[in-house]
Amino acid sequence: MYRGDVPLPGAVDVVPALTELGIQHAFVTNNATLTPEQYQAKLQRMGIAVSADRVVTSSIATAAYLRSLTDAAARVCVVGEEGLIGALESAGFEVGDADPVFVVVALDRKLSYQRLVAATRGIMNGAAFIATNADPALPVEDGLWPGAGSIVAAVATATGVHPTVIGKPEPTMLRVALDRLAVRPENAAILGDQVQTDIRAGHAAGVATILLATDLATPVPGVTPDLIVGDLHDLLRRLRTRDAPEAGPGRGPTAG
Q: What is the pLDDT of residues 160-174, one digit of tens each?
A: 999 999 999 999 999
Of the residues 165, 189, 224, the one at which a domain ends = 165
Q: What is the pLDDT of residue 251?
A: 45
Confidence (pLDDT) at 249: 37
Residue 45: inside a domain: no
pLDDT at 254: 52
**pLDDT score, position 37:** 96
Per-residue pLDDT, 213: 92
Q: Per the domain annotation, does 155 fall within a domain?
A: yes
d(Cα 84, Cα 187) in Å, to the nearest integer?
Answer: 30
- Tell me: do 182 and 215 sit in the same domain: yes
> How confident is the model over 206-250, as pLDDT tens digits?
999 999 998 878 899 999 999 999 999 999 999 998 754 544 334
**Under-70 pLDDT residues of the chain:** 243-256
Please tell me the distance from the alpha carbon of residue 143 to that of residue 106, in angstroms, as a whole number. Answer: 20
Q: What is the pLDDT of residue 209?
A: 97
Do 81 and 125 belong to one domain?
Answer: yes
Answer yes or no: do 65 and 145 share one domain: yes
Q: Are residues 155 and 177 in the same domain?
A: no
Show contacts of 223-230: CB within 8 Å, 24+ apart: 223/195, 223/196, 223/199, 224/199, 225/195, 225/199, 226/189
Q: Quick one: which H or E segment has residue 63? A: helix 58-69
Domain at 183, CATH number: 3.40.50.1000
Beta bridge partners of 209: 190
Q: Which residue, 149, 165, 181, sits at the end of a domain?
A: 165
What is the rounded CA–CA span in Å between residue 87 and residue 159? Answer: 26
Cα separation of 74 and 67, whole Å?
9
Pair (160, 93) in one structural domain: yes
Do 68 and 146 share a domain, yes or no? Answer: yes
Say if 224 falls within a structural domain. yes
Q: Tell me, what's the pLDDT at 76? A: 98
**Helix-helix angle 58-69:82-90, to 10 degrees:** 30
Domain that holds residue 202: 2-30+169-255
Q: Indicate the number of domains in the chain.
A: 2
Whole-number Å distance between alpha carbons of 148 and 135: 6
Last residue of a domain, one of 165, 194, 222: 165
Give residue 255's pLDDT.
52
Average pLDDT, the chain: 92
Rg (CA), the chain: 18
Check residue 22 and give left, alpha or beta (phi > 0: left; psi -120 to 50: alpha): left
DSSP 163: P
